[in-house]
Structures are given as structure tokens and as C-alpha cells.
């Protein structure tokens, strides 16, 4: 009788109101459900969690990219794109449960007080900061903080038994989105963009100017593994490559009218030869840029089919500071191709897409990919391109299996390769710089000898990785180059890692071939 009275109460309240829309009815159903749980459930219920779980479940039914972000995660989710954070300014690694400084940020708060590469942070605010409790969350929680606040760290330097105390005033630390910008030879420049962040356009302009001053005539723009970022940044970067008043991208949705973005003026680099590198990790903004370059026949796209993320999310703030990023429209390239791959079979099936590509042989054979005629589109010059999800490159590059050995995989997976090269780089940094002088000399003359291999074998044994000579021979060339590149990264910067590895990078080598062959470059851009 008691339950019946409650039901009747809600029924009377509903009938007393004016006729409601379907949306209003659904909203009332959700509100009533939460009211009932909060007031009549048999046990204490965490209604905050119930509400969040309900929102997450509802969004999951819509599409793969609509998402709920809790209040505490909103700022963290935006951080990689905003281009900076506030903290002490060090690149670090957790080596044997100890915070080891790889390098202080140039001009940052740590460098200013004398923190050096190789320093081990043993205490933070007098509390021991080593051991099994230490993870990245622990470190960031204690070392990051508002600009102007202070933190005291105690470091162990070299063999000195005494800890050195440093009081560091936190400041704004830039997050660069360009990983590398250098000349591959006397004529070809290379820029690798990690994400489309707030400051990426300015970073690109500075990198471009540097390479141009070094004699750059052709450019390789690497978007492999770039998962996207800000739409405006993608548009600004496309703007650098094409002439004025050309369509860059348009969006459209059921409740979002068509919106177009066009180039505003002639960019920095509208006529020189251009190659854009993409792969299955290139998504969203990367696909907007590579699609526009391809549709306008502006450059050659090389690699493998991109991810296929072409849904536009608009952020909506919730009353408690949380946020819903709701899909409101779809991206289309200038020729009309929809970038988004199908997701009608549900989120779980969608998430298995990369596995399915592997099983179908797409990573190794371009002819394993088939599109119906209905997905054919034409570029400005009349070349055939395909929609249906992702950007198909003009030239296909299969996955490089040269390093695909169980030994190499285990050395990476168990951290042995990274720990060994980090230890070696930190220990021999001054010695390497004194011997070789600069990176160019190191890159030309440094050879991974037997002493380094013996050290890696010892690190493998410590990490419980079985050393197999047959597998080592299979991946020897690549593994030796990786050792050299990782040491270079730890002695200099991330860019030097890419410079060392470029000689074994099949995408870069194919791009160089195309750029060096004028006839082939033009043939690709004029083929139909």
C-alpha cells in the first residue's frame, strides 16, 4: 500500500501538468529515478556515482566519441592542448622507483636554481619520495602546482653522500607540440607535429623559418601518431600550405547547419614540394589537414589509412563543473569525403577496428582495402580519392617488421631497453659531449660496441628477459640504432632521437625518394 501511494503521488503530479514533450518526459523519468533511489533505496546509495554512470552509459549508446568528463578531469583533459602547465619544469623518468631528472626545461624554474640532468629527487617537502609508492600521479601531484608557489626538493647528485636541498618557485612550463624540426639533407626539411595544440601554429612558423634559413626547398610534415587537437589550429596550419579562399573543411549535422572554413591568405609555403606522412594513429585534426592537402593536390600523402575520427564534439558544461563533449556534426574534406569511419555496430566493435585492419592485412598490403564506387570522390585536379573513413594515402607504406622479434618486444615491454639507455646516457653524458663535441659528430661517429651490448644483456637479465641470439640477429640493425637514438635523446633532446632513427624510417626514406624524383612527384599529383 505504501509503494502504491508513492506511485499514485507521482502519477497525479504528472497528470496535473501540461502535456509534455518527449524530451521533458525523459528528463522527468531520470529525475524521478534518482529521487526514488536517494529517498527509498534499501541501502545508502552513492547518487553522484549513479548519476555519472548513467550519463556515461547514455553517451556510449550514441557514438564512440561523445564523452563525459568529471570536474577533476576537465582541466587535465585540456592541458596537453592548451600548451603549458604550471610546475617545476623537469623531464623525468621513474628508474628503479626513484625520480630521476632527464633534463630540466631550458629557462625553467628547476634550471634556474641549479637542478641538473641525472639528479635523483629523494625527498619532496622533507618526505621520502622513492620506493614502490612512487608513480607518475604521485610525482605530478607534488611537483606541479600554481605559479608562484614554492616546493623544496632534496636531490642526490652523483656519488655525493649528502643530499642537496633546492627551493623551487613553480612557474608556467610550455608544452611544445613539435617533437622535431631538422634538415634531412641539404634540401629537405622535416617537421614532426605531436598534436594540434594552442601554440602549434606559432611553433610551426618558427620551425619553418629555422629550416628555411638552412636552405630548405622541400618539406616532410609528419603527422603519424598525431591524434588531433584544436580545429582552429588545423585550419591555421592548412592555411600555411594553400593559396587564398580555398575550402579547407566543412561540418554538418542534423541540428548543425553546414559550416565552412576557407583559407584566408597565401600561406608561408604554397608552392614548394610537400609530403605529409600519416598512419593509423593519425586522427581528427591530422585527417582534416592531410585531407585538405590531398583534395587540393597540394602535396603527396604517404603512409597508411588514417584512424577515421571525423565527429565534431562540442563541450557543454554541467552545473558541478563537469563537462559533456557531445558529438554535434561530422567533418568533411573539401571534396566532400566524410572522415568518420562507420560505428553502427556499436562502440565495442568500433574499438576493435585496428585489430580488424591487422587481421585483414591492411597494415601490410594496400590492395587489401576495398571501397565501393559510391565512396569515390575527385580532387581539384581530377584524381580519385575515397571516403568511408580515414584518409587513404597516395602512396602506401607497410608496417616495418624489421624489429618485430620477441626479444625486442620484451626488452621494450619490460623496460630494460629504456632503463639501460637512460642509465648509460646520464652516466656518460659529460664524457660523450667532451668526446664528440656536438650531436652531428655523435650521429656520424658513435658506434654501439660490444660493451654496450653486454650492458644491455645484463639489463635484460635483471628484467628477466631471456636473451635469444637468433632473435637478436633478426632485429640487430634496428636495435643497435634504437640504443644509439635513445642515448642521444638522454644526452641532448627528443629531436635527436628522431634524427638518429630517420635513416631506418621507411616512411621518411620513401618521402625522400619521391621528393628527389621530380617526375614521380608530379605523376602522383596528376594521376587519375
Q: Per the structure, how many domains does the chain have?
A: 4
pLDDT recorded at residue 80: 62
- Domain presence at residue 88: yes
- Residue 6: pLDDT band (50, 70, 90) is very low
Q: Which pLDDT score is estimated for 256? A: 92
With contact defined as beta carbons under 8 Å apart, do 419 and 460 qualify? no
Same-domain status, 484 and 458? yes
The helix or strand, by DSSP H or E, that contains position 506, with its residue range, turns out to be helix 506-516
CATH number of the domain that residue 119 is part of: 2.30.42.10
C-alpha angle with apex 297: 293 to 298, nearest 5 degrees? 55
Return the beta strands (E) in 437-495 as ranges.
none
End residue of a domain, out of 153, 174, 195: 174
Measured CA to CA, the distance from residue 459 to residue 461 in angstroms comes to: 5
Say how far apart CA 112 and CA 173 lie, in whole Å: 13
| Res 368: pLDDT | 66
Same domain membership, residue 27 and residue 160: no
Confidence of residue 329 (pLDDT cuts 50, 70, 90): very high
With respect to residue 13, please indicate whether it lies within any of the assigned structural domains: no
Q: Which residue has the higher pLDDT, 481 or 81?
A: 481
Cβ atoms of 255 and 196 closer than 8 Å: no
For 197-223, write each residue's pLDDT tens digit. Answer: 889 999 999 999 999 999 999 999 999
Mean pLDDT lowest for which of 75-79, 131-135, 262-266, 441-445?
A: 75-79
Are residues 350 and 268 located together in one domain of the fold? yes
Residue 11 has a pLDDT of 43
pLDDT in tens, 152-203: 999 988 777 889 888 899 988 877 889 999 999 999 999 999 999 889 999 9
Give domain status of residue 517, yes or no.
Answer: no
Q: Are 80 and 193 in contact (CB under 8 A)?
A: no
In a domain, 443, yes or no: yes
What is the pLDDT at residue 19? 64
Residue 402: per-residue pLDDT: 67
Does 6 reside within a domain?
no
- What range does the domain containing 43 cover? 22-61
Q: What does the block give as the cell for 515?
A: 621528393
Both 356 and 454 in one domain: the answer is no
> pLDDT of 484-494, one tens digit each?
999 998 888 88
Domain of 294, CATH number, reads 3.90.226.10
Do 227 and 308 have their domain in common? Answer: yes
**Plot region of 139 (φ>0 → left; ψ -120 to 50 → alpha; else → beta):** alpha
Of 64-78, 230-244, 435-449, minimum mean pLDDT range: 64-78
Q: Whole-number mean pLDDT of the chain?
A: 87
Percent of the chain at pLDDT > 70 equals 92
Residue 14 lies in a domain: no
Confidence label for 10 from pLDDT (cuts 50, 70 and 90): very low
Over residues 465-484, mean pLDDT: 90
Same domain assignment for residues 136 and 245 = no
In this structure, is residue 301 part of a structural domain? yes
Comparing C-alpha atoms, which of 329, 249, 341, 252 is closest to residue 296? 249
Dihedral pair phi/psi, residue 67, rounded to 5°? -150, 155
Most confident of 125-134, 171-180, 348-357, 479-488: 479-488
- Residue 20, CA distances (Å) to 17, 25, 27 in order: 8, 6, 10
**Same domain for 185 and 166?**
no
Same domain, 119 and 187: no
Boundary of a domain, candidates 381, 399, 417: 399
Helical pair 469-491 and 406-413, crossing angle rounded to 10 deg? 40
Report yes or no on 256 lying in a domain. Answer: yes
| Cβ-based neighbour number of residue 456 at 10 Å | 23
What φ, ψ does residue 481 adopt, rounded to 5°?
-65, -40
- End residue of a domain, out of 399, 431, 463: 399
**Taking the complete model, does pTM exceed 0.85, yes or no?**
no
pLDDT beyond 60 at 8: no
pLDDT tens-place string over residues 20-42: 788 788 888 888 998 899 899 99
Tell me: do 333 and 371 sit in the same domain. yes
pLDDT in tens, 105-119: 766 888 778 787 778
Are 197 and 229 spatial neighbours (Cβ–Cβ below 8 Å)? yes
C-alpha cell belonging to residue 121: 629527487
Residues 370 and 484 reside in one and the same domain: no
Which pLDDT score is estimated for 411?
87
Q: Rounded distance, CA 496 to CA 358, Å?
A: 31
442 lies in the same domain as 388: no
Question: Which of the four pLDDT bands, split at 50, 70 and 90, describes residue 380?
Answer: very high
Is pLDDT above 90 for 409? no
Instruction: Kindly state whether residues 115 and 201 are assigned to the same domain.
Output: no
Amino acid at each position: 500500500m505504501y509503494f502504491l501511494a508513492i506511485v499514485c503521488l507521482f502519477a497525479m503530479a504528472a497528470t496535473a501538468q501540461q502535456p509534455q514533450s518527449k524530451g521533458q518526459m525523459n528528463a522527468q523519468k531520470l529525475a524521478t529515478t534518482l529521487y526514488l533511489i536517494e529517498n527509498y533505496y534499501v541501502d545508502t546509495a552513492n547518487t553522484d556515482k549513479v548519476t555519472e554512470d548513467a550519463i556515461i552509459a547514455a553517451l556510449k549508446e550514441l557514438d564512440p566519441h561523445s564523452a563525459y568528463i568529471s570536474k577533476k578531469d576537465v582541466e587535465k583533459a585540456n592541458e596537453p592542448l592548451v600548451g603549458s602547465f604550471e610546475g617545476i619544469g623537469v623531464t623525468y623518468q621513474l628508474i628503479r622507483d626513484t625520480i630521476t631528472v632527464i633534463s630540466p626545461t631550458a629557462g625553467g624554474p628547476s634550471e634556474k636554481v641549479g637542478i641538473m640532468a641525472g639528479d635523483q629527487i629523494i625527498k619532496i617537502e622533507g618526505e621520502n619520495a622513492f620506493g614502490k609508492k612512487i608513480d607518475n600521479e604521485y610525482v605530478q601531484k607534488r611537483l606541479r602546482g600554481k605559479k608562484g608557489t614554492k616546493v623544496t626538493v632534496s636531490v642526490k647528485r652523483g656519488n655525493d653522500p649528502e643530499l642537496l636541498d633546492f627551493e623551487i618557485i613553480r612557474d608556467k612550463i610550455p608544452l611544445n607540440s613539435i617533437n622535431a624540426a631538422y634538415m634531412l639533407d641539404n634540401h629537405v626539411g622535416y617537421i614532426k607535429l605531436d598534436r594540434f595544440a594552442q601554440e602549434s601554429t606559432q611553433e610551426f612558423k618558427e620551425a619553418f623559418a629555422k629550416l628555411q634559413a638552412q636552405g630548405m626547398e622541400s618539406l616532410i610534415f609528419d603527422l603519424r601518431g598525431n591524434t588531433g587537437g584544436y580545429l582552429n589550429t588545423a585550419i591555421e596550419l592548412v592555411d600555411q600550405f594553400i593559396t587564398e579562399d580555398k575550402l579547407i573543411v566543412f561540418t554538418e549535422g542534423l541540428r548543425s547547419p553546414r559550416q565552412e572554413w576557407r583559407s584566408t591568405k597565401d600561406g608561408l609555403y604554397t608552392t614548394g614540394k610537400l609530403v605529409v606522412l600519416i598512419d593509423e594513429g593519425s586522427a581528427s585534426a591530422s585527417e582534416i589537414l592531410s585531407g585538405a592537402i590531398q583534395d587540393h593536390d597540394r602535396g603527396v600523402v604517404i603512409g597508411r589509412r588514417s584512424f577515421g575520427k571525423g565527429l565534431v564534439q562540442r563541450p557543454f558544461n554541467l552545473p558541478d563543473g563537469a563537462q559533456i563533449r557531445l558529438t554535434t556534426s561530422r567533418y568533411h574534406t573539401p571534396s566532400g569525403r566524410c572522415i568518420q569511419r562507420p560505428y553502427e555496430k556499436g562502440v565495442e566493435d568500433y574499438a576493435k577496428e585496428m585489430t580488424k585492419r591487422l587481421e585483414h592485412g591492411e597494415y601490410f598490403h594496400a590492395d587489401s582495402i576495398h571501397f565501393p564506387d559510391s565512396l569515390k570522390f575527385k580532387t581539384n585536379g581530377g584524381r580519385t580519392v575515397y571516403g568511408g573513413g580515414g584518409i587513404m594515402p597516395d602512396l602506401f607504406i607497410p608496417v616495418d617488421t624489421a624489429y618485430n622479434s620477441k626479444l625486442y618486444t620484451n626488452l621494450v615491454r619490460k623496460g630494460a631497453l629504456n632503463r639501460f639507455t637512460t642509465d648509460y646516457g646520464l652516466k656518460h653524458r659529460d664524457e660523450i659531449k667532451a668526446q664528440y663535441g656536438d650531436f652531428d659528430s655523435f650521429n656520424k661517429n658513435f658506434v654501439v660496441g660490444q660493451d654496450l651490448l653486454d650492458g644491455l644483456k645484463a639489463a635484460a637479465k635483471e628484467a628477466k628477459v631471456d636473451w635469444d641470439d637468433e632473435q637478436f640477429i633478426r632485429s640487430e640493425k634496428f636495435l643497435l640504432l634504437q640504443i644509439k637514438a635513445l642515448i642521444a635523446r638522454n644526452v641532448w633532446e627528443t629531436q635527436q632521437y628522431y634524427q638518429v632513427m630517420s635513416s631506418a624510417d621507411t616512411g621518411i626514406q620513401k618521402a625522400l625518394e619521391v621528393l628527389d624524383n621530380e617526375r614521380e612527384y608530379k605523376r602522383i599529383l596528376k594521376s587519375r
